[in-house]
Amino acid sequence: MTDATPETVIAAAPVAASEDRLLPGIVYALYLLGFSNGITFIVGVILAHVQESTAGPKMKSHYTFLIRTFWLSVAAFLVAGAVFAISIPLSFVLIGIPGLIVSGLFMGAIAIWFLVRSIVGLVYLARDEAYPRPNTWLV
């Protein structure tokens, strides 16, 4: 029988595998910063697309949520922008004014929706939780 000395015994404590929360946090920050400059939205979605395939299950839910948030808002802005563009020449004969108002309100609602989704996702990330419903249209 061999005696183990304290130097030879290495206690292997179980280590909980944690995923890197830094990059999803950076993407959320880029999204929030995008309201002041606009370009960081694109940088954020590129970063999310690149990192999604290598992320663990918890962070993959955040990347899915971030990517869907960006592309759903782009699609909604394109629709609102088309209505706005059509309403501009029609506003000279006064029938386009309601279209301008509605599309402007819709663009504001999209911006608020994007902001709320980004903040809620950041809260889940700060709690070190997976986003519960990454494929939802709402929050």
pLDDT in tens, 2-13: 555 545 444 444
pTM of the model: 0.82
Taking only the tens place, the pLDDT of each residue in 84-115 is 999 999 999 888 999 999 999 999 999 999 99
Cβ count near 73 (within 10 Å)? 17
* Residue type (1 letter), 71: W
Mean pLDDT of the 39-62 span: 94
**Residue 61: is its pLDDT beyond 50?**
yes
At residue 59 the predicted structure's pLDDT band, cuts being 50, 70 and 90, is very high
Task: Give residue 50's pLDDT.
Answer: 95
For residue 10, with 0-12 CB atoms within 10 Å meaning exposed, 13-18 middle and 19 or more buried, which class applies?
exposed
Task: Give residue 19's pLDDT.
Answer: 74
Rounded to an integer, what distance in angstroms lies between the CA atom of residue 59 and that of residue 97?
Answer: 44
Rounded to an integer, what distance in angstroms lies between the CA atom of residue 39 and that of residue 45?
Answer: 10
Rounded to an integer, what distance in angstroms lies between the CA atom of residue 62 and that of residue 117?
Answer: 11
Task: Give residue 15's pLDDT.
Answer: 38
Write the DSSP symbol of residue 135: T
**Residue 134: is its pLDDT beyond 80?**
yes
Task: Give residue 97's pLDDT.
Answer: 93
Write the DSSP symbol of residue 69: H
- Determine what percent of the chain is predicted with pLDDT higher than 70: 87
The pLDDT mean for the chain works out to: 88
